[in-house]
Amino acid sequence: MAEKIELPIKGMTCAACAARIERELNKLEDINEARVNFPLKKAVIFPKKEIELKEVISIIRDIGYDIDLEADVSVRAKKEESELKKAFIWSACLSAIIMPFSMWMVLPYNNFILFFLTLPVQFYFGIRFHRATILNFRHFTADMNTLISVGTSAAFFYSAFVTFFPQVVISAGIMPHTYFDSSAMIITLILFGRFLESKAKTRTYSAIKMLYELSPKDCVVLREGKEIRVATDTLEVGNAVLIRPGEKVPVDGEVIEGSTYIDESMITGESIPVLKNTGDEVIGGTINGKGSVVVRVTRIGKDTVLSKVIHLVEEAQFTKAPVQRLADRVAGIFVPIVILISVVAFFVWYVFGPEPKLTNSLLSFVSVLIIACPCALGLATPTAIMVSTGVGARRGILIKSAEALELTNKTRYVLFDKTGTLTEGVIIISDVIPFGNYSEKDILHAAYNLEKQSEHPFSEALRAKAEELHIGSSKVDEFEAIVGKGIKGKIDGKYYSVGNISLYEDSGKRLDDTIREKYHNKERKGPSPVLVWSEDTIMGILAFNDKVREEARDVVTELKGMGIETAMITGDSMKGARMISEKAGIDKYFYRILPDKKADIVEEYKKKGITVMVGDGINDAPALALADVGIAMGKGTDIAIESADVVLMKGQLSRLTGFIKLSKKTLWIIRENLFWAFVYNILGIPVAFGALYPLFGIRFEPIYGAIAMVVSSVSVVSNSLRLKLFKD
């Protein structure tokens, strides 16, 4: 029996569609659990026993959706984006012609020209809204699609009626105005919003594709003493693979020959390469240093660590539930009420109204629907988001989704990666402790000239420090590297060594207790210390560490001031994690955490409240995708950036608090916009119904509904533009 069944679904237009399919599938007795994800357009089914796929597909089709078994997820995403882009462009072009013809360019047969220009916008490019509305009616539900369809259809059909039968309207004492421009512009604006949303979703697939490309496509296998290049996906457990300097490790394995330093930052996030000797494990996708090693393959396919990271990123898209828009929630209540009021208005005017009864009834029916038309509602969120993203971009904050803005407003926890996020991700010499008559330059001269002969990761930090202090280069003779312990050689006729205590004591020397204590004290606090000695004399201690960002502590302090709790998750040791967390002011930290466990920690925090994850590496991708809001550092890996909802450009951590404040301000503006979007309509609906007619003889013509719609739209746009005044 299959552990799970994945089905690509087409026809979903919102989160409510996904919830509807999920609800119906979970009614089946043979299904243990069904999860439907709207962004990925996919259902994952966990059956209790063998299940007929035809039955599942039949249920999905019965409720108005379909299965797309031919195209893969990335193809479907690009296809949807392309279709929305084409629909928006054509709709916008036609609307650009319709608007002037509606406002000031009056030509013979003007209304007929407008009718034929609006027809394709309403029923071809806007067909997705009408299809969704029919589905909603079948299931007695309503959302923004319903509001868009009902509102624009009312405006279109009334305008069409006026165009072909103007005398009927004139006979009721009403000027024959048309509203083709309202119908076309509403659909164009909503299509633009859907296009931007679709474009943002394709980034999810880009992130997953990049993860697949981390593993090299081919590698060198040793067979009967020969080197044979083969495709990586043909490897089998037990194969011996040769990995040369600078190459990527193809799959998980065990070193059986040679030694090298391997950059495992993609998995652990730590910038210091790890020494690998015979018997040590290596992970597929990591990068080999300057040594050559032979690795025996131990895991292939879905069992590799990299495959598990990819799986975590994909799964995270299911656990990150799409936010149901406030507009959708309101529409679910507002639409049925408006339709009911319009129907009641029709019958009230038909029974109690003056002659011509049918014409007056139809006009009242249409007036109610037109004044409820969602022009301002369609603008309420997109305009605020558009202005907000522009404000964010000017401040170095790239906002990739509206959900991120909405959720960040309620942030309770911010979880940080360590390397490259709270730190610069660059190894530096954090301390030089000289002994006796030796100076800092003496120690650095010896260490730099020895290390430049090696492939050790500390050599780059020493080179940078030597250049800063203008330390000269000297010839090194009799150079020797002792794997896992240190290096030694002769400089200007004198022997020098750089290494750990073990290397020093291997020659029978005993380290002074005071120096030993200083060495271990540095080690306990987090930095990686090494001894530098000449012959039998200890010259000093060098401490290497990752540089903490200057703004890290200020950012954490400001977050705490907002009532937000912070924590750090790292693959580093307990000592390294403790040191960085203390410097940054973070109270809680998790250490020696690999990608799957990092995602587990994010999941636990999400249960307690809205959780933001900030990271920069491949190892952070699952956590960034899983968090309520994933924020990537702009100088991080492409995969982290694609998996995140927000990017802090130029790696400026200080922009994090600014984004949270911008989120709060944006949500406040959106709520105000929704108020203005409805206030005119709510006040106008009773008048459109005819509430003032019995007392004052005032009736609400459709033209006044259009005026109210314009006023509310201007209010919404003007209110959104206030975000340009935002200061963090």
Positions annotated as catalytic residues are 417
Query: 496 φ, ψ to 5°?
Result: -130, 155
The residues, ordered by sequence, that sit 6+ positions from 27 with a Cβ below 8 Å of its Cβ are: none
Q: Which tokens in the block code for residue 632?
A: 């990537």
Cα–Cα distance measured from residue 108 to residue 422, given in angstroms and rounded to the nearest whole number: 68
Q: How far is CA 223 from CA 255, 299, 378, in A?
A: 16, 19, 65
With contact defined as beta carbons under 8 Å apart, do 328 and 148 qualify?
no
Cα–Cα distance measured from residue 18 to residue 10, given in angstroms and rounded to the nearest whole number: 11
Residue 578 one-letter amino acid: R
DSSP 175: -
Closest CA to 272 of 430, 415, 416: 430
Radius of gyration of the chain (CA): 33
Consecutive H or E run containing 608: helix 595-608
With contact defined as beta carbons under 8 Å apart, do 546 and 427 qualify?
yes
Cα–Cα distance measured from residue 379 to residue 717, given in angstroms and rounded to the nearest whole number: 7
Residue 597 one-letter amino acid: K
Beta strands in 642-705, from DSSP E residues, in sequence order: 646-648
With contact defined as beta carbons under 8 Å apart, do 31 and 5 qualify?
no
Give the number of residues written for the chain. 728
Closest CA to 567 of 408, 723, 417: 417
- Parallel, antiparallel, or unpaired for β 476-482 and 646-648? unpaired
- Parallel, antiparallel, or unpaired for β 494-499 and 486-491? antiparallel
With contact defined as beta carbons under 8 Å apart, do 447 and 531 qualify?
no
Q: How far is CA 615 from CA 298, 414, 608, 643, 645, in A?
A: 30, 11, 20, 10, 12
Q: Which tokens in the block code for residue 575?
A: 């000592």
Cα–Cα distance measured from residue 524 to residue 584, given in angstroms and rounded to the nearest whole number: 18
Task: Judge if the upstream peptide bond of residue 245 is cis by omega within 30 degrees of 0.
Answer: no
The residues, ordered by sequence, that sit 6+ positions from 63 with a Cβ below 8 Å of its Cβ are: 20, 21, 24, 135, 138, 139
Query: 143 φ, ψ to 5°?
Result: -150, -165
* Structure-token match 């203005």, residue found: 676
Cα–Cα distance measured from residue 234 to residue 300, given in angstroms and rounded to the nearest whole number: 9
Q: How many CA atoms lie within 13 A of 209 on its CB side?
A: 11
Distance of CA 641 to the CA centre of its chain: 8
Cα–Cα distance measured from residue 525 to residue 23, given in angstroms and rounded to the nearest whole number: 53
Positive or negative torsion for Cα 488, 491, 493, 497 = negative
Q: Which tokens in the block code for residue 497?
A: 């060594």
Cα–Cα distance measured from residue 543 to residue 539, given in angstroms and rounded to the nearest whole number: 14
With contact defined as beta carbons under 8 Å apart, do 100 and 47 qualify?
no
Beta strands in 115-239, from DSSP E residues, in sequence order: 218-223, 226-231
Closest CA to 393 of 671, 646, 640: 646
- Parallel, antiparallel, or unpaired for β 5-10 and 423-434? unpaired
